Amino acid sequence: MQNFVHKKRIHLGAAFLLVIFALLFFLLIGRFLFLQATGEVKGHNMSAEAAKYYNVNKNIQADRGAILDRSGDPIAEDTPSFNLVAVLDKSLSTGKIKRHVVDPQETASKLAPLLEADESEILEKLLQDRKQVEFGAIGRDISPSVKNKIEELELPGIAFIEGKKRYYWNGVFASHVVGFARPDENGQVKGSIGLEKMLEEELKEQDGNYTIKTDNKGTILPKDANVSFVPAINGKNVHLTLDKTIQTFLEEAMTEVDEKYEPEKIMAIVADPKTGQILAMGSRPTFDLNTRAGLTDNWNNDTISYRYEPGSTMKIFSLAAAIEEGVYNGSELYESGTYMLPKDPIPVRDHNGGVGWGTITFDEGVQRSSNVAFALLADKMGTDTLLEYIKAFGMDKPTGIDLPDETTSNINYHYYRDRISTAFGQGSAFTPIQQIQAATAIANDGKMMQPYVIDKIVDPNTNEVVLQNKPKQKGEPISKETADKVLSVLESVVSAENGTGRPYAIDGYSVAAKTGTAQMPGPDGKYLYGHGEYIYSITGMAPADDPELLMYVAVQKPKIEKHENGAGPVSGVFNNVMRRSLQYLSIQPDEKVESARDKKQTGLEVPDLTGRSVKTAISGSEGAESPNYIILGNGSKVLKQIPEAGQSVIKAERVLLLTEKEPPMPDMTGWSLRDVRKLTNLLGIKPNIVGNGYVHKQNIAPGSVLKSGDHLIIELKSNRPLPESEDEEEEEEREAVS
C-alpha cells in the first residue's frame, strides 16, 4: 500500500513538472514568436540594439557650397573649427598618465592670451565641480592655428571637439550682397540674408554616412554586403562677377570717407558697362560677415532697395532723350536763370538761386548743370516722350538683378511741374542699380545691359555647370551716335572750365560724368535745407571715349565743414576707386589727357604752411598754377591756415593764412559764401548771412581789428562770378533761402 501511494506521488510530481515544462515551453515559443513578429523588447527595437554592438556607424560631413569671386578666390566657405573642452574628472587619470586638468591656475594663465580672454574667467570654469566643461563663446570656433598653439602647451585635460564653421575671408566685403549663414535652432546652418539666403537650395549640403558590420569582438566581418555607404553631397559653388581687388578698393575708400565725414549712408556700384557684370557693390553702414558687428545698423542692401530723388545725375538720360529726338543743339543759345511753366506762378530756377549765367549755349548749360536747360529740353521733346525714354531706359521697373529684395522706382508724373522736374532729377525717385543699368546704354553704344552678380553655379560633386549667366541686353533706348554724343558732352562736364564735374578729373584718364545734389524730405514731408543736408552723387564712366568702367557713388548727409561741399566725400570714393581700378585692369593712361588738362580743373594740393615765414609761404604765388593766398594780419609767420594742408583747391581759390590772433578785417567784396565760412571758422566769429550770391557789403569795415566773438554781418548779392562747384552753388542758395 505504501508503495502504491509512493508511486502515485511520483506520477503526480512528474505530471506537475511536465505541465510546468510544457507551460514554459509554450511561453518561450510564444515569446519567440512575439519577438519575431514585433522585433521589440520593452519598447526597444532589438535590431537597433544589436546594431549598436555589431555595426560601426560613421557620419561623413559634407560642406556647404562656397561663394567665390570672379577669379575663383573664396569669399565664403566652410572651414575646420574646434571647440575647446576641459576634462575635470580625476578618475580618468592613472598613475603618471594625467587626463584631467591638474593645475587649474597654470592652465588658465597659459590659455588666457591665446583665447584673448580674462584669466579669471577661464579659471572659474576650471574650478567647477563637473566631469567636463566647455568654455562658451571664448572657446568656440577656434581656428586651426590657435588650436596648434594650445596643443604645443601640452596642458593635461585640455582637448578639442572638431567641427566646422562658415568663414568669410574678408570680413567686411560686399556684406549685404553676400549675406551670411548661421546655425538655426536645430543646429542646421542656413542662409539668413543676401545670396546665402537666396541660394539656400543651391548652397545646402547633405551629410553622408557609412556602416561596417563587426563580430562581438569588433572584428570587421567579410566585406560582402556588410558595408552600407551613403555619400556626402557638397553644396554647389557659386561664382560671382565681383572682383576681389576692385571690391577691396571700394571697401577701403568707403571706410575712409565714412570715418572722416560720418554720413548717414554711402552707396556705390562699379560695373562693366559692356556686359552688365557688377564688379563691386557696397554700402555704409555695413557689417562684418564673421562677427555680424554692425548688422543692426542696416539690414538692407541700399544699392538695390533704397530709392530717392537722384538730382542732376538724372540729366544724363534726359540729355540722351533730347539728342535722340533731335531737339538738342549744343550751340543753341537760351536764357538761363528762370523758366516760367504754363499756369504756374513758381518758375523753374537754376541752382544758383535762379540767377543763371545770362545767355549761354545748351552745351554750357549741361556743363553748369542748368535746370532751366533741361526744362526747355523736356518742353521741346514733350513730357510724354520723355516718359517713354525713361521707360526705355528701364527706370520704371526693377532691373531684375539676381539679388534679393530689389525695389523699384516711384515716377511722379501727375502734374506738369512734376513731369518737368523729373527731367532734372526732382520729384521722381529711383534706385542706384536702376541708374547703373540705364547708364550702360550710354557707355555701350546705346545697348542697355542687365546688371548681374552671379557668373555661374558649379556642382563640385560632378564638376557640372548647373547655371551659366551671360550678358543680357535689356533694350536699345538710343542709337550709337547718340551715346557717343552724350559721352562727349559728359566728358566736357569734367574737363571744361565751366564744368561742375571738375573735382572728379583723374590724371591720365578722360572721365565722362554727371554730378547730383538731391534734396531729401524731412519728417514733416518738406524738403530739408542746410549745409550737408543732401544726397551728393556722381555717375561716371572712364575712359570717356570707350568706357571700360561705370561707377555710381552717393553719399547721404555727410558732416562736411562749412567751407567744404559735397564733392569732398563723393570724390573720396569715386576718384580713388576709379583710378586704382583702371590701373589694376591695365588700362593705359592717355598722355594727351594729362598734358592737355589745366591743373585748375584737377585741383591743387595745399601745402603745409604753418610755422613758415609769410615771405616763404607765398613765394611763387603769382604763378598760373597757384592758389590765391590771403594774408590775415601783419605777423611774420603763418599761425594757421584754411584749407588745411593736403586738401585740394582749384587755381586762384582763396587760401587764408592767419599771421596774428586779432588781425585786421579784410575787404571781402566779391568773396563767395564758402570763403566767408573759411574766414569765420579760422577766426572763431559768428556770421549773419543775408541774401545769396557773393559778398556785397560787410558790417565790419576793412582794416578794423577783429576779435574772437565779434558778430559779422555779410550781405550777399547774386551778381557774382562762376562758383567753384554745383554743390557749392546749390547749398549757398538753399541756405540763404532757409
DSSP state of 291: T
- 336: cell is 538761363
- 100: cell is 584631467
DSSP state of 502: G
595 — pLDDT class (breaks 50, 70, 90): very low
151-170 pLDDT, tens per residue? 999 999 999 988 788 999 99
Contact between 380 and 327 under an 8 Å Cβ cutoff? The reply is: yes
What percentage of the chain's residues is helix, strand, coil (to nearest 5)? 35, 25, 40
Contact between 403 and 431 under an 8 Å Cβ cutoff? The reply is: no
How far is Cα 672 from Cα 656, in angstroms, rounded to an integer?
13
pLDDT of residue 45: 58
736 — pLDDT class (breaks 50, 70, 90): very low
682-703 pLDDT, tens per residue? 887 777 777 766 788 888 888 8
pLDDT of residue 627: 78
Alpha helices in 83-216 (DSSP H): 104-115, 119-126, 144-152, 175-178, 194-198, 200-203
The residue among 704 and 429 whose pLDDT is bigger is 429
Find the length of the chain: 738
* Cα-only R_g, the chain: 38
pLDDT of residue 365: 95
Q: Which H or E element spans position 686?
A: strand 686-691
Range of weakest confidence among 60-74, 569-583, 660-674: 660-674
Q: What is the mean pLDDT of residues 25-32?
A: 72
608-648 pLDDT, tens per residue? 888 888 887 777 555 545 678 888 888 888 888 888 877 77
Produce one character per residue of 370-407: b if its CB has 16 or more CB atoms within 10 Å, e if not: bbbbbbbbbbebebebbbbbbebbbbbeebebbbbebe
Q: How many CA atoms lie within 13 A of 605 on its CB side?
A: 4
Beta strand 535-542 with 512-518 is antiparallel
338 — pLDDT class (breaks 50, 70, 90): very high
Strand residues in 9-48 grouped as ranges (E)? 40-41, 44-45
Q: Which residue has the cell 571758422?
A: 681
DSSP state of 40: E
Residue type, 290: N
Q: Which H or E element spans position 336?
A: none
How far is Cα 43 from Cα 31, in angstroms, rounded to an integer?
14
* pLDDT greater than 70 at residue 46: no
Comparing C-alpha atoms, which of 363, 385, 383 is closest to residue 373? Answer: 363
Does domain 604-737 fall under CATH 3.30.10.20? My reply is: yes
Comparing C-alpha atoms, which of 242, 238, 243 is closest to residue 460? Answer: 238
* pLDDT greater than 50 at residue 120: yes
Q: Is the dihedral of CA 559, 560, 566, 567 positive or negative?
A: negative
pLDDT of residue 558: 95
Alpha helices in 173-294 (DSSP H): 175-178, 194-198, 200-203, 244-261
Comparing C-alpha atoms, which of 273, 237, 250, 78 is closest to residue 174? Answer: 250
Taking CB atoms within 8 Å and a gap of at least 24, the contacts of 635-638 are 635/659, 635/660, 637/611, 637/612, 637/613, 638/609, 638/610, 638/611, 638/612, 638/613, 638/614
pTM across the whole model? 0.74
How far is Cα 673 from Cα 726, in angstroms, rounded to an integer?
13
598-611 pLDDT, tens per residue? 444 445 777 888 88
Q: Which H or E element spans position 513?
A: strand 512-518
Please say if 537 is a catalytic residue: no
Residues 6+ apart with CB under 8 A from 84: 111, 115, 134, 135, 139, 140, 142, 150, 158, 159, 160
395-419 pLDDT, tens per residue? 999 999 999 999 999 999 999 999 9
Alpha helices in 116-158 (DSSP H): 119-126, 144-152
Comparing C-alpha atoms, which of 355, 78, 246 is closest to residue 583? Answer: 246
The residue among 83 and 221 whose pLDDT is bigger is 83
The residue among 463 and 213 whose pLDDT is bigger is 463
How far is Cα 266 from Cα 532, in angstroms, rounded to an integer?
14
* pLDDT greater than 60 at residue 4: no
How far is Cα 85 from Cα 132, in angstroms, rounded to an integer?
7
CB atoms within 10 A of CB 412: 16
The burial of 639, by beta-carbon neighbours within 10 Å (0-12 exposed, 13-18 middle, 19 or more buried), is given as middle
* pLDDT greater than 90 at residue 297: no
- 496: cell is 571744361
* pLDDT greater than 80 at residue 49: no
DSSP state of 413: -
Taking CB atoms within 8 Å and a gap of at least 24, the contacts of 372-375 are 372/334, 372/335, 372/336, 372/337, 372/338, 372/339, 372/348, 373/334, 373/336, 374/315, 374/318, 374/319, 374/423, 374/424, 375/339, 375/341, 375/348, 375/420, 375/423, 375/424
- What angle separates helix 416-423 from helix 371-381, to the nearest 10 degrees? 120
Q: Where are the domains of the chain?
A: 2-38, 59-240, 245-600, 604-737
Contact between 675 and 668 under an 8 Å Cβ cutoff? The reply is: yes
388 — pLDDT class (breaks 50, 70, 90): very high
Query: How distant, in Å, are the alpha carbons of 354, 431, 531 from that of 304?
Result: 34, 6, 27
How far is Cα 415 from Cα 411, in angstroms, rounded to an integer?
11
Selected from 3.30.70.380, 3.40.50.2300, 3.90.1310.10, 3.40.1010.10, the CATH number assigned to the domain covering 59-240 reads 3.90.1310.10
Comparing C-alpha atoms, which of 409, 454, 441, 453 is closest to residue 428? Answer: 409
Residue type, 553: V
pLDDT of residue 731: 46
214-229 pLDDT, tens per residue? 655 555 555 545 667 7
- Compute, in degrees rounded to 10, the torsion defined by CA atoms 106, 109, 114, 115: 110
CATH code for the domain defined by 245-600: 3.40.710.10
Active-site pick, 81, 312, 409, 537: 312
Contact between 142 and 83 under an 8 Å Cβ cutoff? The reply is: yes
Q: What is the mean pLDDT of residues 546-574?
A: 93
Residue type, 543: P
Produce one character per residue of 442-460: b if its CB has 16 or more CB atoms within 10 Å, e if not: bbbbbbbbbbbbbbbbbbe
How far is Cα 355 from Cα 144, in angstroms, rounded to an integer?
68
Highest mean pLDDT among 141-145, 170-174, 209-213, 295-299: 170-174
Q: pLDDT above 70 covers what percent of the chain?
A: 85
Q: Which residue has the cell 591695365?
A: 586
734 — pLDDT class (breaks 50, 70, 90): very low
* pLDDT greater than 80 at residue 252: yes
Average per-residue pLDDT for the chain = 86
